[in-house]
Structure 1
Amino acid sequence: MLDEPTFDEINDAKANMDHIYDQADPRAYVRELGSVGYAIPTAAKPILQQLIPELRTKPDDTVRVLDLGCSYGINAALLKHDLTIDDLYDHWGLPELNRATTAEIIAQDKDFFAGLEPVENIEVIGLDVAENAVAFAEQAGLLDLGLTLDLESSPLPEAAREDLAPVDLVTSTGCVGYVTEKSFKELLPALTEGHGPWFANFVLRMFPFDAIADTLDEAGFVTEKLDETTFVQRAFASAQERESVLEQLIDQGIDPTGKETEGYLLAEFYLSRPREDAARKPLGRLLTAQDPDTTIIDHRGAKPFAQ
């Protein structure tokens, strides 16, 4: 049996982009991630849009979403509005914003997002360790509430429990690897006070999901994986990152042939639900048919590193 690496060891294989995650506004974020075709929020959106109606008792019910690793409110923007991440790249990448202050960008965004027609009756709570990013997303009107917490090293504050109790859907699109079962253990008592939410996690293939699934299982949740479907997160940032990730996958017994070897970091989808919900409608019936295997989306001209 292969030794399972730690998440820290796996993260070492990836390019370090920590410098873009907690700035006062998203300009550096969209410049750097746009250059490598970061696409997972757009790839995840159709899946999440199929889950949201299932969580409504009545058609006009508000669905409350907790977005883990919310950053600057990207998933909130896409779920609330008819937007893709490419639209946000264009919006925050306008040349005239190069000399704008963060206050000017926030003022513009409050008007911009408030003027868009909402496509989903949802509220989004964002949780992230990045204080500046969360503050931006709140002030710009993307998050209904932002929580700056590090649940890997600190307990959930008592004051947050009331905010989390009504949550219907917990989402993540790439934070597993930084977030482990420790954060889920901290969240579960608050999230299950009222009813059992659903957990929709998009997880890079090189990060084992077993410990999180086991934690959720102990709390009465069943985890299903969407088989034979992978989602493009982004292109590799360098040849070195490509080789390091391929080596990490192979060391774990995961075959990257025809997948990561094509030049992209790929994620898989896991849905965890209360046992009775999973029994009522298995994942295969819940989602409309997905194209098997990976659809490579080369966003904004990002070029994968060839073999």
Structure 2
Amino acid sequence: MSAEDSRHGPNVPVSMTRFDEVYTRPDPRSYFVALGPLGYQTPHHAQSVFRRLLPFAGASDDRKHPTDHETEAVVLDICCSYGINAALLNHHVTWEELHERYTSPSVARMTTEELVESDRRYYAARRREDAVCVVGLDIAAPALAYARAVGLLAAGFAENLETGAPSPALYRATRGVRLVTVTGGASFLSARTFKSLLAGRLDPPWVAAFVLRTGSYGAIAEGLGRFGLTTQEYTCRTYPQRRFTDADEQRGAVAAVHAAGNDPRGKETDGCFHTALHLSRPAAHAAAHPLRALLHDG
């Protein structure tokens, strides 16, 4: 679950601050230390959204209720890094609690091995009864290793589907995926990643992505459309991502938002990057079940 602005991609303004180094550490302490002061909060917003969408995700168009599912739900979190989305989805914890934990003096004194053991107990004690299987995909192997070690991910794969096909193991592990989640990688992903994952599947999963307003999601949406998924942008609100690191970053973001055809007033002009939720699902389901109804907004 990268911070969106940590790696360059075709839709990322060149003036954005990069945080590449926080994903190469053996545990998430540097991640929270670097992003916490900037008010990074996308996982907080995603926590409730994903939980609301998951019971419906992957249902056939003729199914009326989320309880019609016959198999255990599986979530694929793309750009999962340290498994923070899985932590929030499957445990009785909040983003604020995780930030407080990983920046506390007591945790700062731990070795990585001690933190892994502590985190195993921490998450096991807070596991939700409705927890689901989460598979992680990220190019950051150290972050994946941590998420696997503490039990946040059922499986993790350090593979780059922008440059190569998924391994047989990854393809098998994602066979039962109902919901694909992205909270911090859409800017450097393309339709190639999703094509590799969805090719040959009879019932493609839903895809829920929080996308920075500084770029376009159009190419990915078009690619998903070839698998029978229609993409809708949730227009009722946007979601603050983090504060800008400096005036240059803000100017670049405002210009990029204008170039993307969006209005930065009251959002990027007020000091924060904002994301928009894009949901891809079968057209019949999208027509029958408005997005705002799924999110309990109407």
Match of residue 19 from structure 2: 17
How far is the alpha carbon of 1:236 from its aligned partner?
1.0
Q: 2:161 aligns with which of 131, 136, 151?
A: 151
Following superposition of structure 1 onto structure 2, how do residues 221-240 of structure 1 map, counting pairs within 5 Å?
Answer: 221-240=229-248
Aligned twin of 1:169: 179
Look up the match of 1:301. none
Within 5 Å, which residues of 2 pair with 1:21-170?
21-55=23-57, 56-58=66-68, 62-170=72-180
Q: Deviations over 1:70-115 (max 9, x none)?
A: 0101000000012221111111112022232111111111111111
- 1:208-262 per-position Cα deviation (integer Å, ceiling 9, x unaligned): 0100000011111111111131001111122221122112223334321111101
Residue 257 of structure 2 is aligned with which of 229, 234, 249? 249
Query: Aligned partners of 1:59 and 1:164: how far apart in 2?
Result: 17
Preserved contact between residue 221 and residue 231 of structure 2 (Cα < 8 Å): yes
How many residue pairs get aligned? The number is: 283
* Conserved? CA contact 1:177–1:207, under 8 Å: yes
Which stretch of the first structure deviates more once superposed, 157-166 or 256-265? 157-166
Question: Amino acid of the residue matched to residue 227 of structure 1?
Answer: T
Structure 2: which 5+ runs fail to align? 1-7, 58-65
Work out the CA distance in 1 between the residues paired with 2:294 and 2:125: 33
User: Quick check: 1:189 aligned with 2:199?
Assistant: yes
- Structure 1 spans left out of the alignment, 5+ residues: 1-5, 291-307
Partner deviation per Cα, 1:36-87 (whole Å, 9 max, x = no partner): 0110111122211111222443589632100011010100000001222111
Asked if the contact 2:102/2:108 (under 8 Å) is kept, the reply is no
| CA distance in 2: counterparts of 1:58 and 1:250, whole angstroms | 43
CA RMSD of aligned residues (A): 1.9
**How far apart, CA to CA, are the structure 2 residues paired with 1:221 and 1:251?**
26
Partner residue of 2:208?
A: 200
Change beyond 3 A, Cα 1:222–1:251: closer
Normalised to the residue count of structure 1, the TM-score between the two structures is 0.87
Deviation at 1:277, TM superposition (A): 2.4
Q: Which amino acid aligns with 2:37?
A: S
Could you say which residue in structure 1 is the equivalent of 2:227? 219
Cα distance in 1 for residues equivalent to 2:257 and 2:235:
18
Distance 1:152 1:251 in 2: 25
Question: Structure 1: which amino acid aligns with 2:257?
Answer: L
Q: 1:135 to 1:11 in 2, by over 3 A?
A: farther
- Partner amino acid, structure 2, of 1:132: P
Give the equivalent residue in structure 1 for 2:62.
Answer: none
Stretches of 4+ aligned residues off by more than 4 angstroms: 58-61
Tell me: CA distance 1:253–1:271, structure 2 relative to 1, closer, same or farther (3 Å).
closer
1:282: how far off?
2.7
- Which deviates further from its counterpart, 163-172 or 152-161? 152-161
Question: SS where residue 54 of structure 1 aligns?
Answer: coil
Matched with 1:297 is none
SS in 1 for 2:208: strand
Secondary structure of 1:234's match? Answer: strand
- 1:281 Cα deviation after fit: 1.6
Q: How much has 1:13 moved relative to structure 2?
A: 2.6
Measured at CA, do residues 121 and 26 of structure 1 come closer, stay the same or move farther in structure 2, by a change above 3 Å? Answer: closer
Does 2:288 align with 1:280?
Answer: yes
Indicate conservation of the 8 Å contact 1:13/1:248, yes or no.
no
SS in structure 1 of the partner of residue 136 of structure 2: strand
Q: Is the 8 A contact 2:229 2:282 kept in 1?
A: yes
Measured at CA, do residues 60 and 232 of structure 1 come closer, stay the same or move farther in structure 2, by a change above 3 Å? farther
> Following TM superposition, by how much is the alpha carbon of 1:184 offset from its aligned partner in structure 2, in angstroms?
1.1
Distance in 1 between the 2:120 and 2:35 partners? 23
